[in-house]
Structure 1
Amino acid sequence: MERTTCLVAGGGPAGMMLGLLLARGGVEVTVLEKHGDFLRDFRGDTVHPTTLELLDELGLRDEFAKLPHRRINSIQLPIGGRMETVASFADLPGRYKYVAMVPQWDLLEMLARAADPEPGFRLRMNTEATDLIHEQGRVVGARYRTKDGETGEIRADLTVACDGRTSALRASAGLGSRRWATPFDVWWFRIPRNDTDPAGIVPVLSASRVVIMLDRGDYWQCATLIAKGSDPAQRQSQPVDVIMRSLNDVVPWFADRLDAVHSWDDVKLLDVKLDRLDRWYTDGLLCIGDAAHAMSPVGAVGINLAVQDAVAAARILTPKLLSHSVTRSDLARVQRRRTPPTVVTQTVQRIAHAQAIAPAVSGELNLSNARRTPRTLRVFRRIPLIRSLPPFLLARGILPEHAPDFARRP
């Protein structure tokens, strides 16, 4: 039987950041990642200014600069056949006035390399946490299964579930949650990008298609919104080229790339969820990131909220882990700290679902044939305070976390 001080389930942004910070604080920590590498397509790839500042504090600025990335400093809308900038990050406070698009696998590998020299850090790939171990009403670790079918147990003072919105450990704990209906799911796919294309984030709203295009340099990472639960019927009833043909009606500069999506195998489905645990913890267990609060892709803020959760957890819990004295009240402190930004973000997402996403998916909101900029957008652009608020909430959010002193490096 194996033992560690802190067992982290899931090697995503929250899990890897938490593992790095705890290890730098002298805590013995084991991170379990069920895959053999971090290479998964169409994972969230946005790194927001608050996370960029955190990487600076951790001494990882130069390492991050080496990663392939694209800087997004504006949001544009195609309105009546022309591109209009509706939001800019130029006026953001702080050093970083952009959102970086970075392949998530590169970011995770960078965090793993930074943690590897720490004597208390251990990363186990191809190992999935499958269930919690309970003793006398307390979580004392987790069971695991490797890719080869080997099973085992790891005991820990604290187990942290960072295994996403389908968290096995969250399900094993039986923690209650609040869920909100979402009007859409997402298809992810790639389209080649030409140098003459617009840059930045380009949402496309037409009567037949809603697409958010993310500038990745040599290609567009595209998310098209579909009605909730409609994926199986749409795949069976129509050819895949319907996506590109409907895009071409709105974005004519795609005309030379209509064959970019070859088959339905090129289109990945994201089942959109929006929920939040009533209580993120029980004795011996803490949930953070999507395991605690599944976020909508609206605003692409899920990664950064998960990272911020990890920073708060490391700052609050490291002294307690070092003395092997973590209590429920300590875990409650983490939830209290991270609840306000989670609630604010999910509230904004729910408003966006009702006021923009649902009408757009149903075809009621159509900007592609507008003869002039809608009045709401004209007012939005003319009032500086209103104009600056959405970029600020998107890029920085509220209650940003900073690296604890023990984890900082020059």
Structure 2
Amino acid sequence: MTLRTQVCIAGGGPAGVLLGLLLARERVDVVVLEKHDDFFRDFRGDTVHPSTLNLIDDLGLRSAFDTIAHKPLPKLDAVVNGVRVHAIDFTSLPKPNRFLTLMPQWDLLDMLAEAGRQHPSFHLIMGAEVTGVRRDADGRVSGVHARTAEGDLGVEASLTVAADGRDSTVREALGMQPRDYGVPADVAWFRLPEPPTPLPDTLAWISEETMLVTFPRPGYLQSGMLIPKGSFDALRAEGIDAFRARIARAVPRLAAQAAELGSFENVKLLSVQINRLDRWHTPGALLIGDAAHAMSPAFGVGINYAVQDAVAAARLLAPALRSGAESVIDRAATAVQGRRERPTAMMQRIQRAVHARIATGRGVKILDDPPTRRQRIAMRLALPLLRPLAARIVGYGFRPERLR
């Protein structure tokens, strides 16, 4: 079967579904292909940043958003060698969205997909795995090939958008290779039971041995331990008891919960990457989100940057698509990279600095416990100045996008 549309989007993550919704609102016909049958994935980020909340307000979706269970975090601490440091204060941002919130990504995607279905030009096809790209006689990308449970599917489109993640099939089919900037750490990803007494809102637990992150979800903590890149097999060889003990040393209040971690079958490896394409487009195709630039989990900004790519792309592409001229569409795709590349590079530079100095996977000593007099004075002077800057950079990123 072959479908014909104006825009075919490969990938039903935040960038793909939101771009489909935004274009459909502009009466552009869009087909979004998602290879899985549902959105339920453990390895998708949960952070919804203030800039994304602003966009949800712009879309008129706040009422629907607020009916979904989520956890607002107006402030974030870091526990550094046993010392709690008040690191980020989102209440310094403009109203109304002066907080970051945690919401399972599948709930966010379900909400956006349902909003898209209210527009007749939005078509989301689940269980459709893109296998390659189509080209016309001149070599221009003219759509994709996909595989579904019902058989092969072809989609012909004026523009193909790759929003299919860091292992993008479309990117591979186009022969495009991102520049890898190297990260010294990976993440061992696991669940812990929710403690009887909730933990204070904490960005990270940093010690001389390790770094642990915990994200509250309904009934459990989605947790990650940073480890040196390539060391997961060695970690497994030490055994689950040693891993439980490492968690308990990092966060003593979670010792009882760590004891309930059954085996390494419940611990998964999340490979951390920071990379970026030199060119995000080719005639007939555009790449956005992780397909164009994989972000580290540092500060949880991957969703935010994918969403902002989608907003910029929709604003620039919609008038070009209405014109129908291939040259105009390709210029608009080029303009998307022109708008989003520098903010992305700036955030990746910060992430690389964090991984070089703090999130190395090997632990780091930043403060004494208790802090020395010099450390106390430095924190007293520096933190009040850094908190609003950190809130702005983490909450909005560089060059935040709005619908208008």
- Whether the TM-score (by the shorter chain) exceeds 0.5 is yes
How far off is 1:256 after superposition? 2.3
2:37 maps to amino acid: G
The answer (yes or no) to whether the contact 1:175–1:278 under 8 Å persists in 2 is no
1:145-160 → structure 2 map (5 Å cutoff): 145-147=147-149, 150-160=151-161
Give the Cα separation in 1 of the matches to 2:6 and 2:376: 53
1:157-207 Cα distance to aligned partner (Å, 9 max, x none): 000000000001011112243211110111111222335343212411223
**Counterparts in 2 of 1:257 and 1:24: CA distance versus 1, 3 Å:** same
1:106 maps to amino acid: D
Alignment correspondent of 1:347: 349
**Counterparts in 2 of 1:184 and 1:206: CA distance versus 1, 3 Å:** same
1:362-381 → structure 2 map (5 Å cutoff): 362-365=362-365, 370-372=369-371, 379-381=378-380
Alignment correspondent of 1:270: 270
> What percent identity do the matched residue pairs reach?
43
2:223 maps to amino acid: C
Report which stretch shifted further, 192-201 or 387-396.
Answer: 192-201
2:90 maps to amino acid: F
Alignment correspondent of 2:292: 292
Alignment correspondent of 2:33: 32
1:264 maps to amino acid: F
Normalising by structure 2, we get a TM-score of 0.93
**Counterparts in 2 of 1:42 and 1:283: CA distance versus 1, 3 Å:** same
The answer (yes or no) to whether the contact 1:194–1:218 under 8 Å persists in 2 is no
**Counterparts in 2 of 1:82 and 1:196: CA distance versus 1, 3 Å:** farther
1:213-249 Cα distance to aligned partner (Å, 9 max, x none): 22336432211101111223322x1222322211212
Alignment correspondent of 1:408: none
Alignment correspondent of 1:191: 192
Runs of 4 or more above 6 Å deviation: none
How far off is 1:400 after superposition? 1.0
Give the Cα separation in 2 of the matches to 1:334 and 1:248: 46
Alignment correspondent of 1:338: 340
Give the Cα separation in 1 of the matches to 2:372 and 2:266: 34
Give the Cα separation in 2 of the matches to 1:19 and 1:252: 45
RMSD: 1.9
Report which stretch shifted further, 245-254 or 161-170.
Answer: 245-254
Give the Cα separation in 2 of the matches to 1:294 and 1:184: 15
SS of the equivalent of 1:18 reads: helix
Give the Cα separation in 2 of the matches to 1:374 and 1:167: 51
**Counterparts in 2 of 1:379 and 1:366: CA distance versus 1, 3 Å:** closer
Give the Cα separation in 1 of the matches to 2:193 and 2:377: 32
1:63-100 Cα distance to aligned partner (Å, 9 max, x none): 00001100112222334545332322221223111111
1:39-188 → structure 2 map (5 Å cutoff): 39-79=40-80, 81-135=82-136, 136-147=138-149, 150-188=151-189
Alignment correspondent of 1:407: none
How far off is 1:372 after superposition? 1.5
Gaps of 5+ in 1: 405-410
Alignment correspondent of 1:385: 385
**Counterparts in 2 of 1:274 and 1:266: CA distance versus 1, 3 Å:** same
Give the Cα separation in 2 of the matches to 1:18 and 1:366: 41
Report which stretch shifted further, 139-148 or 102-111.
Answer: 139-148
1:54 maps to amino acid: L
The answer (yes or no) to whether the contact 1:76–1:85 under 8 Å persists in 2 is yes
Alignment correspondent of 1:304: 304
Give the Cα separation in 2 of the matches to 1:270 and 1:80: 25
How far off is 1:147 after superposition? 4.0
How far off is 1:61 after superposition? 0.4
